[in-house]
Copies of this chain bind each other. A is one copy, B any other.
């Protein structure tokens, strides 16, 4: 794409109300716009990043035999009453249809929807295990929204639900999902700073787990055990004082951003909705469930917090960068440069590279400042000087045209 045709623009000044680094950079770079506190629009470059994150998540979940579906945001009160969460889940947006007087919730999670649907998918042990996920918009009536796209009132989430005939089978799949999550974080470039973290398990399980990415701006506090390379969240550490895995008490405290959570629901929701299966002996039993979340838009914000050097300089990890290559032409009044640049642009596209081509007649200083803000992973500069050396400039070095 020609940068001159991109509908978004970079901006020098933005509203003072934006406090977080991720929102500041993303708005300045033209990736997102704030519509109201906690609610953002994703402009073309931002939407490309979201789609790239979604694509990684999809690929890793398809590998573990999870099947993609799409559940609705509008949800009837009756389903939420069955689990008691109509009254207890304070972030649930609740409202009434003007025409039908039906009371509705806007989905902040989907256990109340997937569990009754699973009754049509599961009859016997032969239908199990079963795993289904969606990438979908969620809503939360947050008291305060001040962390940019890290904690939105409307946000994009991947939620996976698994169904099993035994706790052992759930345990096995839980470990498979754990590995898929670690693969996802690795591909996002945050594998080495994202830790599986012990968290409270609720009524049915001793622990659940979060995935926490170390970041000074994180809202969460974790305690890292260097021995096991795992972490423990604040709640657990206050109860136990040591690492649950190895009893090590030599733990390092850090701030972090929660980028995923996995939870053994056991029979909490299957009992509420009477979701049963018939086992090998013809006996009806409640289905065992697990749920697994990853905040897609939150991950995008996390990547900015982790990879931005400052408010003016970002670099996206290679797999999520909105374009593979930022091709920047200098000396754009030179016919030779623009011809060579045009040929290179066509060549790269033919080789399946996505390229943002800055063909604009602007000063180098403006081009580089904008490129710093956009943060496309690989920058290729073509100029009279580089052409005189038969190549382009990448990271300060001349690289020949056929080696880009």
Cβ A120 vs Cβ B9 within 8 A: yes
A35 partner residues in chain B, CB cutoff 8 A: 71-72, 74-76, 113, 117
A68-B100 Cα distance, complex, nearest whole Å: 35
- Give the contacting residue for A47; candidates B70, B76, B117; CB below 8 A: B70
Decide if A272 is an interface residue (CB 8 Å cutoff): no
The reply to whether B97 and A69 contact each other, CB–CB distance below 8 Å, is: no
Known: A65-B5, A90-B98. A72 touches B41 (CB 8 A): yes
Contact (A130, B74) CB under 8 Å given A41-B69, A69-B43: no
Segment at the B interface, from A134-142, A168-176, A280-288, A390-398: A134-142
Q: Is the CB of A99 within 8 A of B42?
A: no
- A75 to B6 CA separation, bound complex (whole angstroms): 25
Alpha-carbon gap, A8 to B117, bound state (A): 10
A207 CB–B CB distance under 8 Å:
no
**A33 contact set on B, CB distance < 8 A:** 117, 120
In the bound complex, residues from chain B placing their C-beta under 8 Å from that of A67 are 6-7, 44
Contact (Cβ within 8 A) A98 B36 = no
Q: How many subunits of this chain does the assembly comprise?
A: 2
CB <8 Å contact, B143 and A41? no
CA distance A40 to B50 in the complex (A): 25
Chain A interface residue count, Cβ-Cβ cutoff 8 angstroms: 55
Residues A47 and B74 in contact, CB atoms below 8 Å apart: no
Q: Is A85 positioned at the interface, with any CB of B under 8 Å from its CB? A: no
C-alpha gap A37/B76 in the complex (Å): 10
Chain A 212-262 residues near chain B, CB threshold 8 A: none
- Closest Cβ of chain B to A343, distance in Å, is 22
- Give the residues in chain B near A90, CB-CB below 8 Å: 98
Is A11 part of the binding interface, using a Cβ–Cβ cutoff of 8 Å? yes
The answer to whether A36 touches B93 (Cβ under 8 A) is no
Instruction: Say yes or no: is A39 at the interface (Cβ < 8 Å to chain B).
Output: yes
> Any chain B CB within 8 A of the CB of A121?
yes
Is A310 an interface residue when CB atoms closer than 8 A count as contact? Answer: no
Among B7, B36, B97, the residue within 8 A (CB) of A121 is: B7
A368 interface contact, C-beta 8 A = no
Given that A11-B120, A95-B95 are known contacts, is A47 also in contact with B68, CB under 8 Å in the complex? Answer: yes
| Minimum CB–CB distance for A234 against chain B, Å | 24
In A129-171, the 8 Å CB interface with B consists of: 130-132, 137, 139, 141-143, 153-154
Cβ of A73 within 8 Å of any chain B Cβ, yes or no, is yes
Are A93 and B93 in touch, CB under 8 angstroms? no
Given contacts A76-B36, A154-B72, contact A8 B121 (CB under 8 A): yes
Nearest chain B CB to A2's CB is how many angstroms away? 10
Q: List 12 A-B contacts (CB under 8 A).
A: A7-B130, A35-B71, A35-B74, A35-B75, A41-B69, A41-B117, A46-B69, A74-B153, A93-B98, A97-B141, A99-B142, A137-B137
- The residues in A between 1 and 21 inclusive whose CB is less than 8 angstroms from any CB of B are 5-9, 11
Question: Within 8 Å of chain B (Cβ to Cβ): is A361?
Answer: no
Closest CB in chain B relative to A121 CB, distance in Å: 5
Does A205 sit within 8 A of B, measured CB to CB? no
With a CB–CB cut-off of 8 A, which chain B residues contact A73? 73, 137, 139, 154
A347 contacts partner chain B, Cβ-Cβ < 8 Å: no
User: In the bound complex, how far is the Cα of B76 from the Cα of A153, in angstroms?
Assistant: 12
Asked whether any CB of chain B lies closer than 8 Å to the CB of A102, the reply is: yes
Smallest CB separation, A160 vs chain B (Å): 12
Complex interface residues of chain A between 50 and 81 (CB less than 8 A to chain B): 50, 65, 67-76
Residues of B within 8 A of A132 (CB): 7, 44
In the bound complex, residues from chain B placing their C-beta under 8 Å from that of A75 are 35-36, 39
